[in-house]
Each structure stands twice: as structure tokens, then as C-alpha cells.
Amino acid sequence: MPRFSKAVSSLRSSEIRDLMTLASRPDIISFAGGMPGNELFPVQEVEELFHELDSKKKQSAFQYGPTPGLPSLLESLAGFLEKKGLPVKENRLLITTGSQQGLNLLAKTFIDPGEPVLVENPCFIGALSAFRASEAELRGVPVDSDGISMRALQQEIDRTEKAKFLYITPYFHNPAGLLYTTNRKEQLISALQGQDIPLIEDDAYGDLYFYEEDRPRLKPIKAINPNGIDVCYTGSFSKILGPGLRLGWMLVPEEIYQKCELIKQSADACSPSFTQVLADAFIRSGQIYSYIASIRKEYKRRAESMVAALREHLPEYVKWNEPRGGFYIWLTLPEETDATRIMMLALERGAVFVVGKTFDPEGKRNNSLRLSYCNNTPEQIAEGIPLVTDAIKQVCG
Ligand SMILES: Cc1ncc(COP(=O)(O)O)c(C=O)c1O
């Protein structure tokens, strides 16, 4: 038996990854993955953009690049982020290999084994696994429909052993689907100011809003630029261009940037130049804006069909959110329910989703489940949702 490190021995394959194998069976309707629809990718547009590049640019796409990212992409991405009001000039921008790498770099930057970090409960599984890989002690703080629970957060802030950071996903949360209210963000800012607890603000889905009127609520905390909090803002091309590019970014204060860049040097030296060249061309052509507008519409259509199917078939005792953007609907079942039993039954019937405990920092609470509508047509949703709701009724009565 090889003598593995303690850190790697405690790693477990994520339930989502394991499920992907099952979910990829062609006869199963999968509401499991947070993957954009394949048919929505701008394949032809990107093909044309690459074709139009001069040969020097094309050659550079095959070459190693600087660790922080290709200068041309850093410049065009800065423009994209400045439109959101982000303080790009006062911070440093680092291109990462997916925003998942950003979370890993930040985990390595801040966490020594056994040190506490604060996460939402439920929490994005990729963040949990990045923090677990650094052997953090995960302290879950519940969320309600407005955002992180302030009472529980304040208790955590007041504890003697101070957390190394707080990680949140305020804009179309994965998995809870929620969008923080402006008021809750303001309360959060006041609670964190001067506490020496950096904030990791994960904004993977903020561009995918369904309602114009929500735009003020989507202003990143990083853009509010509060005094006395080190805000580490992460973002991604995965949901607005394609996860296959493996490109994300972080916008962080200089001191934190310096550490992350050093760690990235040893992790992968640089993110893929090829996809950086493509992402840069996509931004510079302006197509990123029209493309995002088009997928916003399509995800809204998909969300609406899932909402309609749930309204028709879901028993009243199930609590759930009507999404205002992003990819997910979160169902909360009666207290004692085991969502894994529902999932096994749903699988027999031909549909799959992700059970709640996957997103619990302690891996226990399982009276909830996540449905993704991003990767299914309205027809598949109409067919698949009754398979899930029948399984719920069979288990919960
Ligand atoms: C909240 C959140 N953050 C980050 C990511 C990671 O995205 P990527 O590494 O593809 O940029 C995801 C992916 O699903 C996510 O849901």
C-alpha cells in the first residue's frame, strides 16, 4: 500500500463526479450537473474568431504564457470587469485555470492544517473540496432566502479562534439558487469590517440574471469596495463561454495576489494560452455581451419550464426557490427525509439530481436536493420532473 499523505487520504471523490458516470447514460434525464447546454456553446463564432487571427497570435496560442495571464486578455478582461464597477486598477487580476483553481490558490494562501474557515451551508462542493484539501476545519453558516444568516455569522466572528476567511456565493448560489439582498450584503459588510477575516466572493453566475430589475442586487461587494475588508473576488468563463476553456480569474489586493501568483507558478506555470487567446478575441469582438444576453434568455426559458413542472407536481410540504438567475433550484424536504432514497427511486424511473448532503460542510444533512435546469430542454424538463416528484411522494408520502 503506497504511503499517501494525510491530506490526500482524507479526500473523497465528490458525489457529483461519481454521479456523472450514471447521469451520462443516454436513457437518464440528468438534473445533476451544473453544466451549460452543449448546444448553446458559440462554436461557430469562436471558430471564425480563431480563423481571423493573424499568424503571430495563432502561434502564441500554442506557446507557454506568463503566469498571471496573457497581457492582451488581462487588458480585455479588465474592461469587462470595469463595466461591473469592479476596482481593477486598485487590485491585481490573475487568470486562473478555472475559478476552481482560484479557490485552491486562496486555500493554499490562507489555510494551515486544522485552521477554521467559514462557508455557507449549503456550499458549492468545489469550494468545500478545495478547502478540505488544505485540511481546513469547515464551519458552516446557514443561509436563508436573503443570504447568509447574520446571527449565526456574528457568533462565528465572535469566536476566539478567528476564521481564516469567509467564502460566499451571493449571486445565484450553487446549490441554493439564492440571490443576496442588498440589505444582507450591507449587514455582512458591517459585520466583517475591521475583523481581519478576508472575504472570498465567488461570482460564477452573476451574469446570468433573468430580470433587469435585479441588476442593483448584483453589484459585487468587491465593487462596493468596503474599507477594512480584504475582498478576494473570483469569476469564470465557464458559464458565459464554456467550462472546457478552463479559464477563470481572481481580482485581489496586491499582497494576496503575490502569494497566489507564487503558488500558481508551481501549480501549472500558466493557464492554457490557447483558450486565453480565444477568450480575449471573444471579448474584444464584443460577442461576449450578445452571447451572454442570448443564454440568459435560454436559461430563463428552461428555469420557467422547471418552475411550471414543479408547481404542477410537487407536494406542498416541499419548500423551494423560484430562481431569478443561474442554474439551480433547491428543494427542502421534511426534516427526517433521506434524499438518497429519493434519488435511488428517481434513478430507477430515469432521472437524477444531486442530494443535499453533498453540499453540507459536514456531509450529513440530507433532507434537501439540487435540481439543475441548465442542461435540459423544456421538453426533457417536463418529462423528467414528474419522475423526481413521484419518487419524493413515494418516500415522503
Ligand atoms: C459557485 C461556483 N464557483 C466556481 C465554480 C468553478 O467553475 P470553474 O472552475 O469551471 O471556473 C463553479 C462551477 O460549477 C461554481 O458553481
Mean pLDDT of 1-17: 71
Ligand 1 touching residue 276 (CB < 6 A):
no
> What's the start-to-end Cα distance of the chain, in Å?
47
What pLDDT score was predicted for residue 78? 98
Ligand 1 pocket residue status of 129, Cβ below 6 Å: no
- Distance in Å, CA 390 to ligand 1 centroid: 31
Q: What is the pLDDT of residue 25?
A: 77
pLDDT, position 14: 61
Domain covering 6-42+289-396: architecture:
Alpha-Beta Complex (3.90)
Looking up cell 471523490, which residue turns up? 13
Q: Is the pLDDT assigned to residue 200 strictly greater than 70?
A: yes
| Whether the CB of 122 sits within 6 Å of ligand 1 | no
Q: How far apart are CA 329 and CA 143, in angstroms?
A: 15
Residue 16 has pLDDT above 60, yes or no: no
The pLDDT of residue 10 is above 70? no
* Residue 92, pLDDT above cutoff 70: yes
273 CB less than 6 Å from ligand 1? no
Q: Is the pLDDT of residue 264 over 60?
A: yes
pLDDT at 132: 94
Using most ligand atoms within 8 A of CB, pick from 202, 208, 271, 327 the residue to mutate for ligand 1: 202
Residue 82 alpha carbon to ligand 1 centre in Å: 21
Residue nearest atom 14 of ligand 1, based on CA coordinates: 34
Query: Sorting pLDDT into bands at 50, 70 and 90, what band is 29?
Result: very high
In tens, the pLDDT along 62-87 reads 999 999 999 999 999 999 999 999 99
Q: Is any ligand 1 atom within 6 A of the Cβ of residue 238?
A: yes
- Reported as a pLDDT band with limits 50, 70 and 90, residue 380 is very high
What would the grid cell of residue 50 be?
480563431
pLDDT of residue 82: 98
Atom number of ligand 1 nearest to Cα 169: 1
Alpha carbon 379 to its chain centroid, in Å, reads 26
Distance 167 CA to ligand 1 centre (A): 13
Per cent of the chain over pLDDT 70 is 96
CATH number of 62-285: 3.40.640.10
Listed residue (283, 200, 271) closest to 240, CA to CA: 283
Closest ligand 1 atom to residue 237 Cα is: 11
Q: How far apart are CA 136 and CA 301, in angstroms?
A: 39
23 pLDDT more than 80: no
DSSP 199: E
Q: Can you tell me which atom of ligand 1 is nearest the CA of 34? A: 14
- Set of cell numbers at residue 246: 478552463
Measured in Å, residue 99 CA sits from the centre of ligand 1 at 6
Average pLDDT, the chain: 95
Determine whether the shortest distance from the Cβ of 98 to ligand 1 is under 6 A.
yes
- List the domain boundaries for the chain: 6-42+289-396, 62-285
Q: What local confidence, expressed as pLDDT, does residue 268 receive?
A: 96
**Mean pLDDT calculated for residue range 27-48:** 94
Q: Is the pLDDT of residue 347 over 60?
A: yes
Q: Are 203 and 220 in contact (CB under 8 A)?
A: yes
CA 243 / ligand 1 centre spacing (Å): 9
Tracing cell 487520504 back to the chain, one arrives at 9
Cβ of 202 closer than 6 Å to ligand 1, yes or no, is: yes
Ligand 1 atom, smallest distance to 102 CA: 9
